[in-house]
Structure 1
């Protein structure tokens, strides 16, 4: 009996060079597990959806504001794409890790040369190919945006790394959960629990900067504001370090839970914990005094950091990253000024780029209108609706004199202003709808502009709509001929309609008559 035992012990003894020879087997198992993950419908479906949709957006023609991307926002836009893929990997990697337990083959694995902790390493490594695919998609998506003719700004490698790191994080967490809670129901419950926890943390600690950055993906993007790259102020590098440390920590904890007790693994786990804590502390600092002062300076005194150029008599002042866009602004100014009469047709303007940066990326505060005569505000976004909105600002500066008086226009001068703003557009009726809050060309509505907008009554809308239906040259000649009457303070909408030969609308009331 003792001879049989000794013989069995000798047959299962691990050779001295076995640790070195075991790693090729670990990598081979990782390749097998990666291929096996593709057999799971959630992983395959979300991967195809992610890659396919991104590829469609890359080769689909972009127009409007999408044709003028800001790269300091485009890098963050790559982070939400892998969300579903990460969740699918979390659930399916967890299920793969529990395969031997579900099928009752743990005993067979116990007599194999490869230790359980090495199999855990293989499961963690099986997610790496999916992270690599995510990295390629992210790189392609950002590169396509950077190559667009209207692109401005600079991206961040740390922001671009968040998507692939998120995929790795989901995989490592799925393996760890399988080792700690060996049940197939743990992963679905974990997804729901993490979602509820995320909502609770966001709702309960909305003002705490450090808690927001504990989430893998921190989204803070305003629909109206694009900040210069050096004013973004996101701790992207610290966050990437935090995610890297967290991935290593979860993976090594899973290995330790599987029986790996070597000093190297324990030291690695301690180092990963230190890396995670360092990243978490670094990203929790909030807005530095230097950044707050820079944002204040750009918001209050943009001329101190801008460069200006003269085009066709007007001056265009832009932040350094937007200097290449002054030609687009000049084209919009020329279209508006070409429809004006009197001195307005030759009036030099100062177009100044302005942004409200004091509230960060989430700030949507309105920009105060300029009181200096013949100065016009242009924002940091361009394309789409921003073009006719800028044209509205140019038009009411030509009509009223300065931006601060634009909000006071509610008489017949609104008709003249709106004709100047959209009359020279290639699709004037569409431009009219785009600058109105209700996206219509009938009835009362507010009109958008970079600073203060206008208000159009139903009668004024009817007159403008009728003017846009007539030949552009005919209306332009009439506006130039009667410019003094059309821009006189207090002129009524009915008077403007009669001067321009348009039927006076039934509802011609405006502020001058109320």
Structure 2
């Protein structure tokens, strides 16, 4: 018996003994992983938008499959990836959590092999995710209006990200043997990743492509021949990171001879990452050429007396376009000008890359260049259709463009108000065309102030009708459709005359016209009319995300029962305030900003509403953060007045940076620039070599505290003045560049 107990156990010499044992353990761990409540919850969260769309009938009937594959990555990153990280971390720590480490040390299977089994257990879950992604894309592809084909590399990113996050959870278990490691790391990663995703939309290419998921710098679809996503190389890059993390976890478990494979994986990852930046000059030239003239990638069809030209893979949308066009033409006894043509365009080298023009003259110049190109191609005064389609607002935007062409005889030019009877007639035609365009008109009206604005963000074109002009048309839409249509057809010639006033429109059709001084949304509007649409247009995601992260930081001691001194609690509040204030850098972001230059409402009013809403929200957040800090065990007294002044100054810094950045950033989005800038300035202020320094421990009292906070108050006043000046100053003039020349010009 003594010989049996003291004899060494030999397993290494058994061929494949460790490998077979690791595979057996991996099978058990994989089954437990798939049954874990977090895994089930993550999968349900991932599919919940699809179930909601089916249940409510809001599913997009015209999906762009390539973009759909990319859209799945964001939800997959946070829902599936986050769940995989926490679940894998808990599984790898199971022995430690149950105080069984010593028992596990007696097992034949060594720690590196157990770590390998934990990593292999992730593969079945990644396979389930791959099946879900494939099923979703197949379901979208079966819809009659589906466009294009999905990029398989983009589709494969979702299961790859899930495997990567699971591997990170295993690595964390080897680095930090605590059950809270993964949740804390996930919160930090979520904040950093969310800021990275937002910055990736407007930031440099290297930043977008260094993230686990690659976000485009545009908000609309492109024809497949113009897409320049290095999706295959990005997938290899992601796989390289996965291998590096897995080898690091195995090495941390005590494995030997992994240095060479680890270095090889790092080299592969670096090479794949660098390969993403290899551009294609020929593709860039093609993008510029197609932006000027889409004919090389277009197919034309004639339905009735209307000709439609769409990009080759977008032709399934023509039937839906025709339904809208027929609805507009039904009430028009005649079409003014040349034969009606609807021609699809895309600004392939435009808003996301080359900037835009933010003044009316340049906007008109740009769109007029496209109109001249259409005339040269044999389609004079063609109605421009973009690559955004599927919602009621998209249908209303196309109906407005067709109605403008039918009424005026020319295609619309951006940043031009449509007034008089023509403007009222345009609104009525949009609301009368189809139920979808009527719903879209109501939505646009709810989200607009001063004027009803139809915007195509893929082209950055706008049709704006002042609220006073739109009011009689909206009143006419409440009458029986047949009665209103008969009145319009009987008075068409006078209604379509540009010299006819809106008062005459009301007299001919028997609808009231508001008095000029009492228009619903003119520049003289009073009260709170501007508030609801402005609040709806705010980008709440970054603001809410930063606020939640900051509140979690402030609530940390209370959640974990940690006792901190006054100095530490003060620094915790400062860090939480800095995190929450970062979200305010996105308060002035408005993707519709370049399309609203014709709206007769001063821009500073909307900015004032945004700033007030942001400050009220930050004040409420600060109260919640202070309450959370006081809920923790520790000193009961903190110098809240001084800390509140610091927090207000940091919030004002973010708003000032946002107000300045939004004036000079493409598409009216300054947050990705303002957030890191405000963070850098705040840190610079704190570490500045001043006497006394700007950061004073919260437990300090006396003259030093008073002197420092007089400085903070002065800084707050300067930042408030800076914000006011930046918001009220005339908009900066930005000239666009489009390829090597302007659209429609050589």
Question: Shorter-chain TM-score: which interval?
Answer: 0.7 to 0.9
Asked if 1 retains the 8 angstrom alpha-carbon contact of 2:382 and 2:411, the reply is yes
Name the residue aligned to 1:308: 300
Partner SS for 1:381: coil
- 1:282-297 maps to which residues of 2 (within 5 A)? 282-285=275-278, 287-297=279-289
C-alpha distance in 2, partners of 1:74/1:86? 18
1:397 lines up with 2:387 in the alignment: no
> After the TM superposition, which of the residue ranges 290-299 and 129-138 deviates more from structure 2?
290-299
* Structure 2: distance between partners of 1:339 and 1:135: 50
Match of 2:464 in 1: 454
Asked if structure 2 preserves the Cα contact closer than 8 Å seen for 1:403 and 1:452, the reply is: no
Give the C-alpha shift of residue 376 in structure 1. 0.6
* Cα deviation 1:320-361 (Å, max 9, x = unaligned): 1112322322232222122113454x9621111011111476
Which runs of 5 or more structure 1 residues have no equivalent in the other structure?
Answer: none
Secondary structure of 2:138's aligned partner: helix
- What is the match of residue 10 of structure 2? 13
> Do the aligned residues in 2 keep the contact of 1:78 with 1:142 (CA within 8 Å)?
no
Matches within 5 A, 1:308-327: 308-327=300-319
User: C-alpha separation between the residues in 2 aligned to 1:469 and 1:463?
Assistant: 10
- Aligned partner of 1:425 in structure 2 is 434
How many corresponding residue pairs? 497
The answer as to whether partners of 2:345 and 2:387 remain within 8 angstroms in 1 is yes
- Alignment partners' CA distance in 2, 1:338 and 1:465: 18
TM-score (norm 2): 0.61
Partner of 1:26: 22
Whole-Å separation in 2 of the counterparts to 1:58 and 1:457: 33
Whether the 8 Å contact between 1:58 and 1:141 is mirrored in structure 2 is no
Show the counterpart of 2:68.
74
Asked if structure 2 preserves the Cα contact closer than 8 Å seen for 1:220 and 1:362, the reply is: no
RMSD: 3.2
Q: 1:357 to 1:405 in 2, by over 3 A?
A: closer
Is the 1:93–1:175 contact (alpha carbons within 8 Å) kept by the matching residues of 2? yes
Contact 1:222 1:364 in 2 (8 A): no
* Deviation at residue 166 of structure 1 after TM alignment: 0.8
Deviation for aligned residue 1:415? 1.7
- Tell me which residue corresponds to 1:216: 212
Name the structure 1 match of 2:508.
499
Residues 222 and 361 of structure 1 are in contact (CA less than 8 Å); yes or no, is this contact kept in structure 2?
yes
Report the Cα offset of residue 197 of structure 1: 4.2
Q: Identify the residue that residue 181 of structure 2 maps to in structure 1.
A: 186
> Counterpart of 1:90?
85
Equivalent residues in 2 for 1:27-426 (5 A)? Answer: 27-37=23-33, 40-51=36-47, 53=48, 56-57=51-52, 59-60=54-55, 62-63=57-58, 66-82=60-76, 83-198=78-193, 207-220=203-216, 222-223=218-219, 225-262=220-257, 265-285=258-278, 287-342=279-334, 344=336, 348-359=339-350, 368=367, 370=371, 373-383=380-390, 384-404=392-412, 407-426=416-435
CA distance in 1 between counterparts of 2:143 and 2:10 reads 62
- Relative distance call for 1:304 and 1:266 in structure 2 (3 A) is same
**Would the aligned equivalents of 2:417 and 2:463 in 1 still touch at CA under 8 Å?**
no
**CA offsets per residue over residues 252-287 of structure 1, 9 Å max, x none?**
22112222224xx554334322321221111233x5
Distance 1:381 1:202 in 2: 22
Taking the aligned partners of 2:139 and 2:196, their CA distance within structure 1 comes to 35
Name the TM-score, length of structure 1 as normaliser: 0.86
- Cα distance in 2, alignment partners of residues 152 and 427 from structure 1: 21
Q: 1:244 to 1:58 in 2, by over 3 A?
A: farther
Find 2:473's aligned residue among 464, 468, 479: 464
For 2:451, the equivalent position in structure 1 comes to 445
Question: 1:44/1:317 Cα in 2 relative to 1: closer, same or farther (>3 Å)?
Answer: closer
Deviation at 1:226, TM superposition (A): 1.3
Name the SS of the counterpart of 1:68 in structure 2: coil
Q: What is the CA deviation profile of residues 137-165 of structure 1, one whole-angstrom value per residue up to 9, with x for unaligned ones? A: 11111111111111001211110111111
1:441-490: CA deviations, max 9, x gaps?
A: xx8522305433022333x3332123222333333233222222112222
Q: CA deviation at 1:242?
A: 0.8
2:462 match: secondary structure: coil
CA contact (8 A) 1:392 1:449 kept: no
Secondary structure in structure 1 of the residue aligned to 2:343: strand
Distance in 2, matches of 1:379 and 1:234, equals 20
Deviations 1:350-382 (A, max 9, x none): 111011111476889687253655421111122
Gaps of 5+ in 2: 357-362, 523-599, 601-746
Deviation at 1:79, TM superposition (A): 1.0
Alpha carbons of structure 1 residues 30 and 55: separation in structure 2 relative to 1, 3 Å = farther
Residues 408 and 201 (structure 1 numbering): CA distance in 2 closer, same or farther, change over 3 Å?
Answer: closer
Q: Cα 1:182–1:508, aligned 2, differ >3 Å: closer, same or farther? A: closer
C-alpha contact 2:335 2:406 (8 A) present in aligned 1: no
- SS of 2:150's equivalent in the other structure is coil
1:231 shift after superposition: 1.9
2-side partners of 1:93 and 1:449: how far apart? 46
Question: CA separation of 1:506/1:200 partners in 2, compared to 1, >3 Å: closer, same or farther?
Answer: closer
The separation in 2 between residues aligned to 1:79 and 1:431, in whole angstroms, is 29
